Amino acid sequence: MKSKSSTKNRFLGWQNTPIQQASFGSSTRGGSYNHRFKMKHSTGDVQEVSMSWYLLDASKLPVGRLASLAATLLMGKHKPTFTIGAGSGDGVIIVNAEKAFFTSNKADKKVYYRHTGFMGGLKMQTAGEALSKDPAKVLHDAVQGMMPKNRLSRYQLTRLKVYVGADHPMKAQKPQEINLEQKSILKNVGKVA
């Protein structure tokens, strides 16, 4: 039978290490002294966030560049008040989805895979076939692939609207059209000219 004194002097792992004592204990130099660095982003509530809508034309940029721009706008990374967990992003409307295009030979070489769940149910189609069949799904999946995989991004993706054709039913939101031909696209986003 072991005595209680033998367990008292024994090394108990991470609880007695100097790193743990420095971060959480007050006996050594640490504690709040270690947390003197400021966060790089601002903090704020979801209720304080004002959301605006932006209009993107799919015929002006390749699919990948358009998707990265839409993901940045959805997450709110273009705002100076960007807060990681507050859902501070904006809404994005993409029109002319049928005119979306890939650069180089990606339409023939890029392959999308999916599985039915049954034996031998692997289905594949090239990017060109997918664009001709359902261009809105290709753009939505491209934006979704550039977002983080968490609950907040699934909520932010509900504010992505992709339409085939130049007309859209979101005129009540008064979307601001972004000029995709300028060099730095996100530089003047949100500024009224």
pLDDT 10s digit of each residue in the chain, 193 long? 555 555 555 544 544 455 544 555 545 555 555 454 445 555 555 556 678 999 999 999 999 999 999 999 999 998 887 877 777 889 999 999 999 999 999 999 999 999 999 999 999 999 999 999 999 999 999 999 999 999 999 999 999 999 999 999 999 999 999 988 887 788 777 664 4
Beta bridge partners of 161: 93
Q: What is the pLDDT of residue 1?
A: 57
Query: Is the entire prediction scored with pTM above 0.95?
Result: no
Say what the pLDDT of residue 88 is. Answer: 80
Q: For 120-159, list the strands marked E by DSSP.
A: 122-126
Angstrom distances, CA of residue 139 to CA of 130, 157, 193: 10, 12, 29
Q: Is the dihedral of CA 21, 25, 30, 31 positive or negative?
A: positive
What fold characterizes domain 46-181? Ribosomal Protein L13p; Chain: A; (3.90.1180)
Name which of 160, 152, 159 is nearest 67 in CA terms. 160
Q: What is the pLDDT of residue 37?
A: 47
pLDDT of residue 193: 43
Given a contact cutoff of 8 angstroms between Cβ atoms, the answer to whether 37 and 154 are in contact is no
Long-range contacts of 178-186 (CB under 8 A, 24+ apart): 178/54, 178/55, 178/56, 178/69, 180/56, 180/57, 180/60, 180/61, 180/66, 180/69, 181/60, 185/69, 186/69, 186/72, 186/78
pLDDT at 189: 79
The pLDDT value recorded for residue 44 is 53
Which pLDDT score, from 0 to 100, does residue 184 have?
Answer: 77
